[in-house]
Amino acid sequence: MFSRFDSRLGNGLLYLVAGAAAALCLAPFIHSIAVSFSDKSSVAAGYVFFWPVKFTVSAYTLLLNDVQFFKSFLISVQRVLLGGSLSMILTLLMAYPLSKETEVFRSRNLYIWIIVSTMLFNGGLIPWYMTIKTLHLTNTIWGLVIPGAVAAFNVILMINFFRALPKELQDAGGMDGAGPIVLLMKIYVPLSLPSLATIGLFTIVGHWNAFFDGMILMDDPKDYPLQTYIQQLVVSERNFANLTVEELKRLSEVSNKTLNTAKILISMLPILAIYPFLQKYFTKGIVLGSVKE
């Protein structure tokens, strides 16, 4: 009887701690929602906590009632699709041969050290920009995609995952006449869904949240991705002389804090929509891909 009571008490404490941790994680998110829907003066006075004060949608209207916002949104979507696909393909093609033993790939260790060195040393911003400009990738979507197409961390993650798979699978495939590409596509890729989902999530979040490269590589603000556009929307000076009375009124109701919280919430929506589909693979992919047996 006491053991059953102790078990229920223990479960109750665990649920209580988990609930408290969940509340702490959700509190900033709920506060941001309340701030984004609150009046400028209420936010400045510190009256907003977890419920909007003097409800208004001026911050969202300022962002959404703009054609350039949707253009930048589509550019970011295009960047995520192209960058994510290219990164996954190149990471697989690089990790698969490097996961072989030195008896099969003699220069394996040399290439791995070269990959690791890119995590320790950086050429700097100016050589990075000069390289991209020399290749005529500025002011193009490929300038946002190609420079970061292969992440060393993702390659190492996939190498360790491939090395953890039983070698008997490759031997059996080889006996059936399967070549390297067939082995990769028919055996390794289907078994690597956890790690693929993990690096896919890293890549998607990285491309979606990036704003600095768009600011450096794009000369025309019409070519800015979403995060760069929103960042410039906050810091750039506005020409109030060309604004209508309605736009001036809307601006008077919005502060930088309400605009920033609206920006953050809108930027989070695509990631929040994607994450539930990849979450079940995330922890498994991190563990299996980061520990070599």
Got the DSSP string for 106-138?
Answer: TTHHHHHHHHHHHHH----HHHHHHHHHHTT-T
> Do 8 and 37 lie in a common domain?
yes
Shared domain for 154 and 190, answered yes or no, is yes
Judge if 168 and 286 occupy the same domain.
yes
- In which domain, by residue range, is 249 found? 58-290
Verify that 136 and 200 share a domain, yes or no: yes
Tell whether 47 and 86 lie within a shared domain. Answer: no
**37 and 78 fall within a common domain:** no
Domain count, the chain: 2
Give yes or no: residues 174 and 95 share one domain: yes
Task: Tell me which amino acid residue 149 is.
Answer: A
Q: In this structure, are residues 184 and 95 in contact, taking their beta carbons and an 8 Å threshold?
A: no
Contact 102, 113 (CB under 8 A): no
CATH of the domain at 147: 1.10.3720.10
**pLDDT for 142:** 92
* Segment 130-158 mean pLDDT: 89
Q: Which burial class, exposed, middle or buried, applies to 10 when counting CB atoms under 10 A from its CB (0-12, 13-18, 19+)?
A: exposed
Domain boundary among 56, 73, 103: 56
Domain match, 15 and 131 both? no
Among residues 81, 89, 88, 90, the alpha carbon closest in space to that of 208 is found at 81
Residue 71 has pLDDT above 70, yes or no: yes
Model confidence pLDDT, tens digit, residues 153-204:
888 888 888 887 777 777 677 676 777 787 777 788 888 887 888 888 888 8
